Amino acid sequence: MIRLKWWTMIAPLLCLSLLTGCWDRTEINDLAFVLAGGFDLAENGQLEATLQIALPTEVPTATSGGRQTGKKTILVVSEKGSDGADILRKLQQRLSRQIFLGQRAVIIIGETYGRHGIDQGLDQLLRWPDSRYNSFILTAHGTTAKKVLHTPYLLEAIPAIALKKMLINDSTLSVKIDDFMDAVSSYDRSPVTGAVKLSAGRIEDGAFDLGEAAVYQENKLVGFLPSKEKEILIWWREKLQSNTITTQVEPEVKDFKGTVGVNVLKSNAHISTKLNHGMPEVTMSFKAKVIVAQNDTILDLSKAENLKRVESKLSSETEKQIKNTLHHVQKQLKSDVFGFGEEIHIRHPAYWKQNKEQWTHIYPDVPVTVEVDINIQRIGRTQSPAHEKKVN
């Protein structure tokens, strides 16, 4: 009995002796938190990386208010090198704190670097242990990633936080690293990212414009989609809620522009494919439920015939916009951003197995049928335009 008690006392002590402390831990005040990063092509052909690092002692808190004027909240550093690992080593030599990429919310690809090909940057995104796959990825349009990361933003103390908040908005195209990387390594769809432009005003005003989308073919940037075409892509990704669609319903007359604007309540899109004599054909269906946001016509939308007329006009004009977008990405950019190949891969695996390596050549000639159905759910509190003269 005594012997048994002895073992019950000594066993826990032996177990504790096998445990060690956190001998390699890094304290939080020894880390340099990277909130955004970017890649550019340097003039000498090397890769240039830029990091936007938060200055912890200057980051405003909830109790101290939002933006603190007169105090620097970020450090932006750049370095050139042969690859991402070489650049990070050089940057670390300049910093007193250890670079930590775990909080990096946004990654920006400079336009010139994107058009050149982004293999080096992709390798760093994949291999560096601290990198997270839930970061957003953007492509700079008409500028460099370095300039974007140096640009201040008046509403936020840290520009990276502003970009992240804008990307969460339904009106912008938000793509995360894991989705982008999956598309890069796939035969059946092409990569796409949101695009960021700097405002035409003074750079110190710090305005970002995320109204476009950047289109890639494999690992190279091939072009940009303007705002209207980007909205079609957002619709296709079923994230069009809260957006506004405005169309010309009537000819413009005195006091009336002839337009009707609607806000999207709910939207969805669907694709179906078939093989016709061994060649794929695609049908794209777009549906949306909307409410009238503004009526600048002489039409009284409480009347069923007028409401149907507006719905028909909205659907037909949207169909034209979708076809224009398809012509741009399919015939000009030759990039499968809508994922036709992915659907064919699922529905017709035998065909796909035989033709996947030739898909980039087949895709531009695939016939596409577009179907659009826009349904007005509510017309608002007033049926006829508010500024229409009333007849007594």
Q: Per residue in 272-293, pLDDT tens?
A: 999 999 999 999 999 999 999 8
Structural domain boundaries, residue 381: 227-392
Same domain, 210 and 299: no
Domain count, the chain: 2
Give the pLDDT score at 386.
57
| Region of poorest pLDDT, from 60-74, 108-122, 231-245 | 60-74
Tell which residue, 348, 345, 323, 326, has the closest CA to residue 337: 326
For residue 304 the two structure tokens come to 């069923």
Write the pLDDT tens digit of every residue in 159-190: 999 999 999 887 789 999 989 989 998 889 99
First-last CA distance in the chain: 107
* 23 domain-assigned: no
Per-residue pLDDT tens for 356-381? 999 999 999 999 999 999 999 988 76
Same-domain pairing of 249 and 167: no
Single-letter amino acid, residue 32: A
CA distances from 375 to 175, 229, 313 (A): 29, 21, 11
Q: Which helix (H) or strand (E) holds 345?
A: helix 340-347
The two structure tokens encoding residue 146: 């370095």
pLDDT at 68: 52
- In this structure, the answer to whether residues 201 and 306 fall within a common structural domain is no
For residues 211 and 66, membership in a common domain is answered with: yes
Kindly state whether residues 162 and 292 are assigned to the same domain.
no
Q: Is residue 251 part of a domain?
A: yes
- Partners of 275 in beta bridges: 280
Domain boundary among 197, 225, 253: 225
If asked whether residues 274 and 392 sit together in one domain, one would say: yes
Domain boundary among 162, 196, 225: 225
* CA 84/CA 129 separation, integer angstroms: 13
pTM for this entry = 0.85
CB 166 within 8 A of CB 160: no
- Out of 225, 243, 259, a domain closes at 225
Q: What is the pLDDT of residues 87-103, one digit of tens each?
A: 888 999 999 999 998 89
Same structural domain, 357 and 332: yes
Same domain? For 260 and 121 the reply is no
